[in-house]
Amino acid sequence: MAVSDLEDYDVYSHLSDEELLQIAVERSLADIHRPPGSDQITSSSSSSSAPAAPAVLATPTQTNPNPRQRHDPPRNLYYVPPLQPPPSDPPEVPNCANPPTALSQFLYKGFKREVSPLQALIMNGDAEALMDLVRCRSSSLTDPDDEGWIALHEAAFYGQIQCVQILVRAHPDSVNKCNLKNQTALPLAAERGNVSCVDFLLKHGADPNIANKDQETPLFTACQHLKVAIVDLLLKSGAQVNRCCSQGLSALHEACRHGCLELCRLLLEAGASLQTKNIYGIQPFFTAAQHGHVDVIHLLVKNGADINGQAGDGASPLYEACKNGHVSAVEALLSLRADTNRSTKSGLLPLHVAVQNNHIRIVSLLIPVTSSVRVQRSGISPLHIAAERNRDDIMELLIKSGFNVNAKLSEDRSMMYEDRRSTPLYFSIYNGNLEAAEMLLEAGADPNLDIFNPLLIAVRLGWMDMTMLLLRYGADVNAQISTQPSSFPSAFLLNMECLPMLKLLLDHGCDARPCFDCPYGHKPHPTATESRRPSENMQLNRHEPARRQIQFCEAVSSTSFYRVTGPIISMLLDYVSHVRLCSRLLEVLDSHSGWAPIKLKARKEQKQH
């Protein structure tokens, strides 16, 4: 910049920086609103005591998108028009086809503060007004704001190349000055894709390897925002291609995340490492598979990527592609002979996670190439997951493919559930999935393998259809609840107040005789104590002491069944003979005048036998 461009203006020497800035902004606004043809009038009538600011650059400046109306009141020398409040909705991301306004650019920046006159000047790209401030050596150009931004940061962020050129030439030592986030002007320009600004800054001493507080370099930022031309400039200017951020991510990680083939090529040609791992042990190839970028997968493999490189939790690239449902990526990895039997640290295979996330097409691809031995060793069958997640279509596919419908969870996996469930059938019944349960039973599932018989779940919840289905396939109607021992079938205890359910159980062989085998007979009974319903206690605690065996008379006389005790006893008597009612049952029947015939019914049965 010529020395004459920076001459001191004596006429302004008595003014403060703030007043100088206001004059510059006023001139900028006056230029914007000058009527057509007024240049010559102004030129001939201007005072000779104050030299006019020279036109530093020929490129036209950006005008205010919201010019004031002609009927606005006149402005005095120091008047700065107030800014309109920002809109409630965030502005659209700027693009080249629709250049952003100064205000929308500022809002995009994301700061919740008022726009200063200097910021407004730079946002409008008014190089002439900025030059006035440079000539007057205003300290406002290098004084940081509350976020540590100086004028050069603003100019670089908004892509005002003329302003960047003026500021760098006037203050060359500011090119690497950082804001409070440790950002120089370079990454701010790189983030917004301001190629000309980046090029100029690099040619005038900008360091391409100064990282922000998150250890993100300008190269990382450019890759993060897919700025290919800027990445090329940075690499040619000495940017460290393998520098990582605080999360351990390299520029190549970011390029792979976005699936930008051109960026990946640039970085690889510059020596980007394929072995770099982030804090989770994830390599760039893993990231490409994770996001399903097939072209990038093939490019990285050609450059020596480890196709089976696992993350810290043991997940492989194939596992991650299966989890996220990227069919094309899975097909590509399988064609490259990715290991389908490599498990995570939790023992899960790609097939497991594909079932879990309902990706049936991927499941069909994995079934033929997954080892049944490895599935068994994992301690959980894909059928368990399909049943738990109600993936009926996948369950049907797995059954047709020969997966064992009676596979049991390993002990450590079973212990993750309070009821110690172990079979796929239990999961389906617990979910109330009648179609899945029928599918499993038709395929040979045994309904009596779990610690808590699935029939008891159906009975307690009153699911008649499910109960009939299980009884039809041989469920043990006299099964006991291990956590609540009783002298009679546990199914009675769970839902005998539902008389249709009680009759269904009795019709299928549920033994009613133990209900009347009371050890106390006509002797006094112990004081009844209310306890939790067994349905609330279907969990196994091996360290809990054994519970006392509950008697039928004790259960049926509790407040839970009080209103239906008589009908329950009456129905049970229809399925037994030669029984005696204990003193407690007689006491309960005596408490309701309408239940007297039930006592007579019991005596009649006794006399007949």
Q: How far is it, in rounded angstroms, from Cα 222 to Cα 258?
A: 12
Q: What are the extents of the domains in the chain?
A: 1-38+53-174, 513-608
Average pLDDT value for residue range 400-418 = 97
Query: Mind listing the pLDDT tens digit for each residue in 443-470?
Result: 999 999 999 999 999 999 999 999 999 9
Query: Mind listing the pLDDT tens digit for each residue in 197-231?
Result: 999 999 999 999 999 999 999 999 999 999 999 99
Q: How far is it, in rounded angstroms, from Cα 151 to Cα 394?
A: 61
Q: How far is it, in rounded angstroms, from Cα 423 to Cα 425?
A: 5
One-letter identity of residue 243: R
Longest dimension (CA), the chain: 135
Average pLDDT value for residue range 550-574 = 87
- Of 410, 423, 486, give the one whose Cα is nearest residue 452: 423
Q: What is the reported pLDDT for 351? A: 99
Q: What is the reported pLDDT for 42? A: 38
Give yes or no for residue 60 having a pLDDT over 60.
no
Average pLDDT value for residue range 519-530 = 75
Give, in degrees to the nearest 5, the angle at Cα 146 between 145 and 147.
90
- Of 318, 278, 283, give the one whose Cα is nearest residue 300: 283
Query: Mind listing the pLDDT tens digit for each residue in 323-352?
Result: 999 999 999 999 999 999 999 999 999 999
DSSP state of 593: G
**pTM > 0.85: yes or no:** no
136-164 in b/e form (b: 16+ CB < 10 A) is bebebbeeebeeebbbbbbbbbbbbbbbb
Give yes or no for residue 545 having a pLDDT over 70.
no
Query: Who has greater pLDDT, 83 or 115?
Result: 115
Q: Note the Cα 278 to chain centre separation in Å.
A: 19
Query: Who has greater pLDDT, 136 or 30?
Result: 136
Structure tokens at 386: 């399909």
Is the Cβ–Cβ distance between 593 and 566 less than 8 Å? no
Query: Mind listing the pLDDT tens digit for each residue in 129-178?
Result: 999 888 888 788 999 999 999 999 999 999 999 999 999 999 999 999 99
Q: How far is it, in rounded angstroms, from Cα 221 to Cα 189?
A: 10
Which whole-number Å values give the CA distances from 100 to 64, 65, 93, 300, 466, in the listed order?
11, 9, 8, 37, 63
One-letter identity of residue 236: K
Q: What is the reported pLDDT for 138? A: 76
Is the Cβ–Cβ distance between 157 and 193 less than 8 Å? no
Average pLDDT value for residue range 92-101 = 41
Structure tokens at 237: 């200017």
Give the bridge partners for 486, in sequence order.
550
Query: Who has greater pLDDT, 165 or 487?
Result: 165
Q: What is the reported pLDDT for 87? A: 42
Q: What is the reported pLDDT for 6? A: 42
Give yes or no for residue 85 having a pLDDT over 70.
no
Structure tokens at 72: 């606005």
Average pLDDT value for residue range 91-108 = 42
Give 609: exposed, middle or buried? Use CB within 10 Å, 0-12, 13-18, 19+. Answer: exposed
Question: Residue 61 — very low, low, confident or very high, per pLDDT cuts 50/70/90?
Answer: very low
Q: How far is it, in rounded angstroms, from Cα 446 to Cα 442?
A: 10
Place of tokens 């931004």: 149
For residue 466, the surrounding DSSP H or E stretch is: helix 464-472
Q: What is the reported pLDDT for 66? A: 36
Phi-psi category of residue 273: left, alpha or beta, with phi > 0 → left and psi -120 to 50 → alpha: beta
Structure tokens at 129: 């007004």
Q: How far is it, in rounded angstroms, from Cα 604 to Cα 479?
A: 31
Average pLDDT value for residue range 491-495 = 90
Sign of the Cα pseudo-torsion (496, 498, 499, 500, in order): negative
Q: How far is it, in rounded angstroms, from Cα 430 to Cα 387?
A: 10
Give yes or no for residue 371 having a pLDDT over 80.
yes
DSSP symbols for 71-119? TSPPP-TT--PPPPPPPSSPPPPPBTTBPPPHHHHHHHHT--SPPPHHH
Is the Cβ–Cβ distance between 294 and 259 less than 8 Å? no
Give yes or no for residue 522 having a pLDDT over 60.
yes
Q: What is the reported pLDDT for 550? A: 87
Give yes or no for residue 560 having a pLDDT over 60.
yes
Give, in degrees to the nearest 5, the angle at Cα 239 between 234 and 240.
150
Crossing angle of helices 127-135 and 161-170, in 10° steps, is 10
Q: What is the reported pLDDT for 463? A: 96
Q: What is the reported pLDDT for 237? A: 98
Q: What is the reported pLDDT for 69? A: 32
Q: What is the reported pLDDT for 406? A: 98
Residues making up the chain, counted from first to last: 609
Is the Cβ–Cβ distance between 163 and 141 less than 8 Å? no
Question: Residue 30 — very low, low, confident or very high, per pLDDT cuts 50/70/90?
Answer: low
Average pLDDT value for residue range 29-46 = 45
